[in-house]
Amino acid sequence: MEMFIIFLILMIIILVVLVSCVRIVPQANALVVERLGAYLGTWHVGVHFLLPFVDRVAKKVVLKEQVVDFAPQPVITKDNVTMRIDTVVFFQITDPKLFAYGVENPIMAIENLTATTLRNIIGDLELDQTLTSRETINTKMRASLDVATDPWGIKVNRVELKNIIPPAAIQDAMEKQMKAERERREAILKAEGEKKSTILVAEGKKESAILDAEADKQAAILHAEAEKEKRIKEAEGEAEAILKVQQANADGIRYLKEAGADEAVLRLKSLEAFIAAADGKATKIIIPSEIQGIAGLVKSIAEIGKEEE
C-alpha cells in the first residue's frame, strides 16, 4: 500500500513537470529561451516544449507597437529661454534577442536618449522656431532615435512633442501679443465691414436717385402728353363748335332761301354775321354799300353803336 502511494506521488510530480515544460506562445508575442544560461532560440506563435531543469524562458517579448509617454524635460533654446517639453514615443520590437540582451532597461534607455536628443535639437533653435517647427523636430528626433535603438532590436516609428511649456513670463507676453493681434484683426474686419456698408448705402442712394429721376422723367412725359391731348381735344372741340355754328348759319340762310325770303332779309342776316364777328368788342363796323340803303338796318346799326358807347 505504501509503495502504491509513493508511485502515485511520483506520477503526479512527473505530470506537473511535463505540464510546466509546455509553452504556448500567443499571437504578436515571442519567447527568448536559454539552455543552461546560454541563448537557445526565439519561440514564436505555437506550442513549444522545454527540457526540464535545463531550458528556461529568459524573456517574454511583446511584438505589437507600443507607446510610452515621457515626463516633461527641461531644455534651453538658442536664445537662452528655458522651457519644458514632454514627448510621446511610438516604438516596436523587431528583434527579441537584441531586445533581451542589448540593454538592461530599454524603456529607461529610450527615455534618456530622447531627453539628450531633444536638448541637442532645441539648442540649435530659437524660441519662435521651437514653437513653429514641431514637425521638423519630430522628424529629426525619430531619425536619431531609430538609429540609436537599432542595436537594441527596437524600431522607433514616430515621435511627437506632446506639450511645449515656456516660462510663465513668456506665456503672458505671448497671450498679450495674441490678444493684440486678435484686436487688430477685429478692428480691420470692422473697418472693412463699415466700408462695405457705406459703399452699399451710397450705391443704394445712387440707384434710388436714378430711379426717382427716371420716374420724374416718365411723369413729366406723361403730363406733357396729357396736356397735349387736352389741348388737341380743346382745339378739336372749338373747331367742331365753330363748324357747327357755321353749319347752323348756312342752314339758316338755306332755310330762308327755301322760304322765299327777299334780298333785304338775306342782307340783314349778313349784317348779323358781321355783328357776331365783332363779338361786341369793335367800335366801328364797315358795312357794304348794298346794306346801307336799308333804313331799318341803319337804325339798328345806330342802336348798336349806342350800346357800344
Q: What is the DSSP letter of 48?
A: E
Q: Is the pLDDT of residue 275 over 70?
A: no
pLDDT at 88: 92
Tell me the average pLDDT across 276-290.
Answer: 52
Q: How many helices (H) and strands (E) does the chain have?
A: 9, 9
Extents of the domains making up the chain: 20-62, 66-166
Rounded CA-CA distance 21/34 in Å is 13
Residue 130, number of CB atoms within 10 A of its CB: 24
Confidence band of 32 (pLDDT split at 50, 70, 90): very high
Q: Is the pLDDT of residue 63 over 50?
A: yes
Whole-prediction pTM: 0.53
Strand order in the sheet with 38-43: 38-43, 29-35, 55-62
Evaluate whether the domain defined by 66-166 bears CATH number 2.130.10.10: no
By the 8 A CB rule, do 57 and 32 touch?
yes
Confidence band of 273 (pLDDT split at 50, 70, 90): low
Tell me the average pLDDT across 205-234.
Answer: 85
Residue 75, number of CB atoms within 10 A of its CB: 20
Q: Is the pLDDT of residue 302 over 50?
A: no
Nearest CA to 157 out of 168, 165, 145, 166 is that of 145
Residue 2, number of CB atoms within 10 A of its CB: 6
Confidence band of 301 (pLDDT split at 50, 70, 90): very low
Residue type, 190: K
